[in-house]
C-alpha cells in the first residue's frame, strides 16, 4: 500500500526565501518531467544532480522521478577529480545544475507520466537512485535503489519512530549519501516538512532548534559531538523530538552526554545497500542502553552469521546486492544481547568511516604514492572520539628526502575531498608486514596509539555523511 498524498497546501520545504508547498512542488515537478520527456529523457534515463538541497533541487529530483528516470546525486564537496571519476562510472544521460539547466520546453508535447513521490501511484517500482558505496571490499561501487526500497524504508522508520506529517526535518545531509536521500524521500512519503538553511552548520542547527523551527534532524556522530560542544551544559531545546544519529560508530560517552542534557537521540545502524536504516533504537532505548542500535526496523530481517557478520533481508535491500536467498552480506560484525537488541562491533574490511564518510585506503594511498619522494604508503583508520575514526598515513620516504608532511598534505588537498585527508603521518624505514607479506594494519594503528589529534574541523565545512 502506498502513502496518501500530502495536502497541496502543506509545506514541503521551508527555505530562506519562503515556503514551497506540496502543491507547488507537484506543479514544478510536472514541468520538469515534461521538459525532460520532450528532450527524450523519460523512462530509464539517468540524470546526475549537482547542488545543495533547495526548492529547485527538490523540484528537479521529483521531476526526474515523474518522468520515469533515476537520479544520481553528486556531492557538492567532492573534488573535481572525484566528480569526474563518479561521472565516468555513472555515465549519466544528463547533468542538471539548477532549474535553468533543464532542456527547453517544446509546445504541443504532452506532460510526461510516470511514478513520483508527489501525487503518484506507487506502482510500478522503477530504479530511483544510483548511489555510491564502498561495499564490503572497499572499492566504490554503485547501488541502485528502487521506489519500493525507499518506500519500505520510510514505512519502517515511521513505525519505529512514530514519524508523521507534523515533523519538521532539518535538511542536514547531502543526498549523495543514502541518509540524505532517505531524508528527502521519507519526508515526501510521510508528508513531513523539510527545513533548508544551507549546508549544515552547528550554529544554524542550534538557531533553528532554539526558535522551534525544527523538530527532527539526521546527524552523524561528528555533528552531534560539535552540537554538544557548542551547546554546553544547558538542557536541550524543548522543541526537539528526535535526532537520528548514525552513519558511523558513536561512543557510549557521546550518547550518554546527549541523553543527560535531554537530546532525544535515536541511534541507528544502516547502509546504502539497505536504503539507509536497518535497525534503530528509539530515544528511550538509546538512553537506557547507549551503544545498541536496537531491534531491526519493522519489515526488515537481520541475523548474525556464525562468522559474526551481520546479514540483512527484506524490501529495503537493493536487489543487485542480495544473494540468491535474499540475504545481504553487510561486511559488518555484530551480536545480539539477551533482549534481542543488535550491537554493531566492527567491520570485516579495512574501510575507514570518518564522520560518516566511507574512505577507501587504496584511493588515498594512490595519491600519496604519486609523490616522487614516496616509496611506500599505507593508510589506516585511527579511533577518534569526535569523528569515530580519522585517516592516518604511514609513509616510507626515499633516501635523502626532506620533510614531506606539508607537501603530502597539499597533494591530498588537491586531489581528494576533506574527509579523506590524513590527519596524522608517520615516516618509517619499512612497512610492517605479516607472514603472508601483506601490510600489517594492526601494527600500523599501534604507531598512532599515543597520538594526539587536533579537534579542529577539516577545511571545506562539515562532514558529508549520513545515517
Q: Distance between CA atoms of 243 and 260, rounded to whole angstroms? A: 14
User: How many Cα atoms within 13 Å fall on the side-chain side of residue 231?
Assistant: 24
Residue 1: its pLDDT value, please?
A: 55
CA distances to 125, 212, 364, 416, 460 from 403, rounded to whole Å, are: 56, 51, 19, 21, 25
Distance separating alpha carbons of residues 426 and 61, to the nearest angstrom: 44
Spatial CA neighbour of 467 closest among 180, 159, 258, 211: 180
d(CA 135, CA 351): 9
Residue 459 main-chain phi, psi, to 5 deg:
-65, 150
Identify the DSSP state of 40.
T
* Burial group, residue 77, by CB count within 10 angstroms (0-12, 13-18, 19+): middle
| pTM for this entry | 0.78
The whole-angstrom separation of Cα 253 and Cα 251 is 5
pLDDT averaged per 10 residues, the chain (length 467) = 86 95 96 93 92 95 95 92 92 94 61 44 74 63 95 97 96 93 96 94 95 95 89 95 90 89 97 96 97 96 94 97 94 92 82 86 87 90 91 92 91 95 94 69 86 36 33
Across the strands, what pairs with 281? 267
- CB atoms closer than 10 angstroms to residue 278: 30
Distance (Å, rounded) from C-alpha 115 to C-alpha 110? 16
Q: Please state, in angstroms and rounded to a whole number, the distance separating the CA atoms of residues 42 and 51.
A: 22
Instruction: Give the domains, in start order, of the chain with CATH numbers.
Output: 11-347 (3.40.50.12780), 352-446 (3.30.300.30)
Output the pLDDT for position 251: 76
Beta strands in 327-435 (DSSP E): 328-336, 342-347, 352-354, 357-359, 374-384, 388-397, 424-427
Amino acid at each position: 500500500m502506498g502513502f496518501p498524498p500530502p495536502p497541496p497546501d502543506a509545506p514541503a520545504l521551508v527555505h530562506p526565501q519562503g515556503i514551497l508547498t506540496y502543491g507547488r512542488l507537484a506543479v514544478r515537478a510536472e514541468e520538469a518531467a515534461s521538459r525532460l520527456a520532450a528532450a527524450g529523457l523519460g523512462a530509464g534515463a539517468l540524470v546526475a544532480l549537482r547542488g545543495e538541497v533547495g526548492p529547485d533541487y527538490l523540484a528537479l529530483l521529483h521531476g526526474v522521478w515523474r518522468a520515469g528516470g533515476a537520479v544520481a546525486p553528486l556531492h557538492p564537496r567532492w573534488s573535481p577529480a572525484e566528480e569526474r571519476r563518479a561521472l565516468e562510472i555513472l555515465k549519466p544521460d544528463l547533468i542538471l545544475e539548477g532549474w535553468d539547466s533543464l532542456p527547453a520546453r517544446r509546445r504541443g508535447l504532452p506532460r510526461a507520466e510516470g511514478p513520483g513521490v508527489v501525487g503518484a501511484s506507487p506502482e510500478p517500482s522503477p530504479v530511483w537512485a544510483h548511489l555510491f558505496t564502498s561495499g564490503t571490499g572497499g572499492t566504490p561501487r554503485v547501488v541502485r535503489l528502487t521506489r519500493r526500497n525507499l518506500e519500505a524504508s520510510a514505512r519502517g522508520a515511521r513505525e519505529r519512530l512514530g514519524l508523521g506529517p507534523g515533523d519538521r526535518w532539518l535538511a542536514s545531509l547531502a543526498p549523495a549519501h543514502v541518509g540524505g536521500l532517505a531524508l528527502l524521500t521519507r519526508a515526501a512519503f510521510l508528508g513531513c516538512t523539510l527545513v533548508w538553511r544551507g549546508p549544515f552548520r552547528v550554529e544554524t542547527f542550534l538557531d533553528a532548534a532554539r526558535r522551534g523551527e525544527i523538530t527532527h534532524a539526521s546527524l552523524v556522530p561528528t555533528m552531534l559531538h560539535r552540537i554538544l560542544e557548542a551547546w554546553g551544559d544547558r538542557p536541550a531545546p524543548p522543541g526537539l523530538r528526535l535526532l537520528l544519529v548514525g552513519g558511523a560508530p558513536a561512543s557510549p560517552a557521546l550518547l550518554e552526554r546527549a541523553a543527560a542534557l535531554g537530546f532525544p537521540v535515536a541511534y541507528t545502524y544502516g547502509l546504502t545497500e539497505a536504503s539507509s536504516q536497518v535497525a534503530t533504537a528509539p530515544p528511550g532505548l538509546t538512553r537506557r542502553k547507549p551503544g545498541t542500535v536496537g531491534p531491526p526496523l519493522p519489515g526488515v530481517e537481520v541475523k548474525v552469521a556464525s562468522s559474526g557478520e551481520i546479514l540483512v533481508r527484506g524490501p529495503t535491500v537493493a536487489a543487485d546486492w542480495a544473494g540468491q536467498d535474499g540475504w545481504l552480506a553487510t561486511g559488518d560484525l555484530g551480536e545480539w544481547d539477551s533482549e534481542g537488541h543488535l550491537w554493531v562491533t566492527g567491520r570485516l574490511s579495512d574501510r575507514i568511516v570518518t564522520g560518516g564518510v566511507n574512505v577507501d585506503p587504496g584511493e588515498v594511498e594512490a595519491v600519496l604514492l604519486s609523490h616522487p619522494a614516496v616509496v611506500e604508503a599505507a593508510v589506516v583508520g585511527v579511533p577518534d572520539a569526535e569523528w569515530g575514526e580519522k585517516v592516518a598515513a604511514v609513509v616510507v620516504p626515499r633516501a635523502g628526502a626532506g620533510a614531506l608532511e606539508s607537501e603530502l598534505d597539499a597533494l591530498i588537498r588537491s586531489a581528494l575531498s576533506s574527509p579523506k585527508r590524513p590527519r596524522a603521518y608517520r615516516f618509517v624505514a619499512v612497512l610492517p608486514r605479516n607472514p603472508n607479506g601483506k601490510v600489517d594494519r594492526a601494527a600500523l594503528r599501534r604507531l598512532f596509539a599515543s597520538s594526539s589529534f587536533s579537534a579542529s574541523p577539516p577545511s571545506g565545512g562539515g562532514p558529508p555523511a549520513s545515517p
